[in-house]
Copies of this chain bind each other. A is one copy, B any other.
Amino acid sequence: MKEGKKVSDAVIKRLPRYLRYLDDLHEEGIERISSGELGKLMGITASQIRQDLNCFGGFGQQGYGYNVNNMREEISTILGLNNTELSLIVLGAGHLGTAIANYTNFEKRGFKIKAIFDINPEIIGKKIKDVEISDVKYLEEFLSSNKIDIVVFTMPAVAIKSVLDIIVKSDIKGIWNFSYLNLKVPEHIAMENVHMSDSLMSLSYKITQNKK
């Protein structure tokens, strides 16, 4: 990456998307692609692509297009996905938590689910894939004796508030928040919010616009 250059959030948000398309191309055995072809696939302009990738020093040689595999590797590295495993715990083994714990694509990217916690005695002790659901009362003990990178919040807001202190005082590096809560955490903890209803409202907006 070019030193000292601040990369905008919008570009960062697009990187996983590049990676998805590049993975597809790689699986189809395509080794090289021009910014024009990639742009057509992704529905963005070639100049947007060149501009985005220039933030990280290019990857392409004028007229030769991009080497698909190199670009996959580079983007993976930028995203912190190469040569490291990031460990996750899931707080909340309801439907959403179970969906996440079952999602095998995460493992392909180097994310590893180490534990799942819930408060519901009826499901504590059951397993999702190979991971047993533990009682949330053991969360603090678990975090003090295991190196965990990411905590996934899929519990109701009230339940999260009751454990947030424990989380913030631990050594975790990031929170992946699916709850409605607008959480405030110290700056050294990275945060990604997935507000699913926001996306549904955006869809409603688009439908409204299409009717005009």
Contact = CB atoms under 8 A, between A and B. Distances in A.
Interface stretch (A45-53, A58-66, A73-81, A136-144): A73-81
A180 B210 contact: no
Interface in A74-103: 78-81, 86, 94-96, 98-100, 102-103
Contacts of A24: 182
Interface in A143-191: 149-150, 173-174, 176, 180, 182, 188, 190-191
Contact of A194 (B98, B196, B206, B210): B196
Interface in A89-135: 94-96, 98-100, 102-103, 105-106, 109, 111
Copy number of this protein in the oligomer? 2
**A contacts with B: majority SS:** helix
Chain B CB count within 10 A is highest, among A16, A149, A191, for: A16
B207 A80 contact: yes
A196 to B, nearest CB: 6
Given A102-B95, A105-B180, A16 B202 contact: yes
Contacts of A106: 197, 200
Given A81-B201, A150-B200, 13 more contacts: A20-B182, A78-B205, A78-B208, A79-B208, A96-B96, A106-B197, A150-B207, A174-B203, A176-B203, A191-B203, A192-B202, A194-B196, A194-B199
Interface of A: 10, 12-13, 15-17, 19-21, 24, 41, 78-81, 86, 94-96, 98-100, 102-103, 105-106, 109, 111, 149-150, 173-174, 176, 180, 182, 188, 190-192, 194-211
7 contacts: A17-B198, A20-B182, A20-B198, A81-B201, A86-B207, A173-B210, A190-B206
